[in-house]
Amino acid sequence: MTTINTSQPILSALQAARPDEAERLCHAALKQDSRNADVLFLLALAQQQQHRLEQAVETYARLAGMFPDSALHWGNYATALREVGRQDEAVVAYRAALRLAPDDALQWINLGLLQLQQLDYMAARESLLRAVGLDPTSAIACINAARACSACRDYRAEALIQPWREWGQLNDSLLFELADLHLVQGDAGTAQILLEQLLQRTPAHHQARLLLAAVYERVNRLADADTLLDRITSQSTAADPPTMLEIAHQQAVLALRRSKPAEARDILARSGPRHQLDYAHYFVNADACDKLGDLPAALASLQTAHALQMDELKAVVPYRFEPDAPVLPAAVGKVSRAEYLDWPGYSAPDADHSPIFIVGFPRSGTTLLEQMLDAHPGMQSMDERPFFNILADQLSDFGAEIPRDLGKLSQRDCDELRKGYLQLVCSKIPRRWDARLVDKNPLNMLWLPMIHRLFPEAKFILALRHPCDVLVSNYMQNFRSSVLALACSSIERLASAYVTAMECWLHHVEVFQPNLLVSRYEDLVADPAAHSGRIAQFLGVADASPMLNFHQHARDKGYIATPSYSQVIQPVNRKGLNRWLRYRDALQPALPILKPMLDHWGYSTD
């Protein structure tokens, strides 16, 4: 180890931003002791400050070679390799550091950050979750673990960022990442608070301004979004190409929101995609082309969008592309009537104290039904939440397979699962205990066995719509869910997913015979007052009139975390009826697949 007299002048030179002088002093000291670890480390810092990164890498490599049992030196070497872009070598060096210090949370964080750079999200998730396990209070570990989980469509992302208020002041980078994660997880309110806080602190943070503009669009504050975008474009220092591309994308979205599809398509044509895998660009363009009646262009844009989305998902969730991977994993297991009759009977909430479940294949009108019910003062919804997926994952951690092992659950198990469900609900909304809970998640139709085990008296509303209209609408959506995105990768695969979901639902309806109302979208559009009265009667609600004001109620709510967020703020209209007829030719390969469900529900393709 060097003496204080030797190291102090070097440190003073570095602190005074004189790295050349620090380097000269290091070389002089090393002539006296070539293996002095402290001086070698300071030499690497001096080289980095002079932007001679490759030389710094060589110095860190020298330290790691001289002291092969030092996790610190291997970690520094790995970080230097990462900085110069030698990522594969950096992984090897981080692994060496972790073999020596497997409980070093910082090294797991550094490895995870590198894996995120490499777009190896599954490996990054494991590394960063390991870091969180070692240091649960680390904001950088939790935020980046949530980022990796979010990329992997892992439900743990939301829980990882839940304690953000306990982390104290975050730097700008972490605060921005936290806001973005909250938006992705459907919490636009928190995202808005964090971004506005960041901009108060750092007004020139243009990425935060861009993201806040996107938040304002999602909560229907279109004029405020315009103001933010105009402010950025007026500042020439912010007009770098990536920023201008993002501004163009948001302006196109705003043009569509204002029913100006020609303007939106023109903006997108001038700007082009923002990056190589910008499938969102093509989804927005397809929407504009569809509204303009240019159906060949819409279909071509959708084909490109889905192909790019699949390229991303192959890297993120490769196991979903295995030959035997099911199109809808939750639809694989089924409970027979005989198995159900063997289930032990337990005490459970009655219908009035159970959630009202709105289910149906996506884009069948579930969000419209949810907003109608939420507009009634006696009911409270919570947007779309995958709570039963989460509960099933928790059970699988204990070796239980759903739905096969539902009959093995005890009274205590069911009570604890209901408690867990309620905790998830209360983490999302301030629960009004005088209102009945409305749980809308379309693919909860696949979780009927588990829902029935916990809430056997619950009432269900199945949203039904012409299957061909459902297919067209889904094919045009940019779904975040990997399951839905994969299901929509082609018209034929989407038709198979629809039939699979319906067959699973119909099988379990016959087994469990739930308290069920079928709500046809076509009937609702034809006579909203009569249909809302029918729903109210089914639910035991005396006055259905508040349901008819759902569009104003939805507008007042602000953020709605579903693709139809811009539609449910409008009164009921007929725009979504028979939309599929324009795409009849493109749907031809799907019609034979859909036929069993078309026949079952009485829908015609003539």
* Residue 357 belongs to domain with CATH number: 3.40.50.300
pLDDT tens for each residue of 6-19: 788 999 999 999 99
Q: Which domain holds residue 530?
A: 347-381+433-601
What domain count does the chain have? 1
In a domain, 268, yes or no: no
The whole-number pLDDT of residue 554 equals 63
Question: Degrees (nearest 5) of the Cα angle 432, 434, 435?
Answer: 70
CA distances from residue 189 to 195, 218, 257, 429, 479 in whole angstroms, order as listed: 10, 11, 21, 12, 21
The pLDDT of residue 566: 52
Query: Can you list the residues of the chain whose pLDDT is less than 70?
Result: 1-5, 236-239, 553-574, 576
Q: Convert the pLDDT of each residue in 287-345 to its tens digit.
A: 999 999 999 999 999 999 999 999 999 988 888 899 889 999 988 889 999 999 999 99
Tokens matching residue 293: 């009646």
Check residue 1 and give its pLDDT: 40
Residue 292, amino acid: L
Task: State how far the Cα of 548 lies from the Cα of 570, in Å rounded to an integer.
Answer: 11
Q: Does 484 reside within a domain?
A: yes
- Partner residues linked to 517 by β-bridges: 461
182: phi then psi, degrees, rounded to nearest 5: -65, -40
Residue 437: in which H helix or E strand, if any? strand 436-440
Q: With respect to residue 549, please indicate whether it lies within any of the assigned structural domains.
A: yes
* Residue 282 resides in a domain: no
End-to-end CA distance of the chain: give it in Å, rounded.
87
Place of tokens 């889904």: 474
Residue type, 35: R
Residue 519: enclosing H or E segment and its boundaries? strand 515-520
Predicted local confidence at residue 48, as pLDDT:
92
pLDDT of 340:
97
Burial tier of 530 (Cβ tally within 10 Å: 0-12, 13-18, 19+): exposed
Crossing angle of helices 261-271 and 279-292, rounded to 10°: 140
357 forms beta bridges with: 439, 460
d(CA 388, CA 392): 6
| pLDDT at residue number 428 | 83
Is position 152 within any domain? no
Which residue bears the tokens 């960041």? 198
The model's pTM is: 0.86
Report yes or no on 111 lying in a domain: no
Could you tell me if residue 69 is inside a domain?
Answer: no
- DSSP H helix total and E strand total for the chain: 31, 5
- 486 within some domain: yes
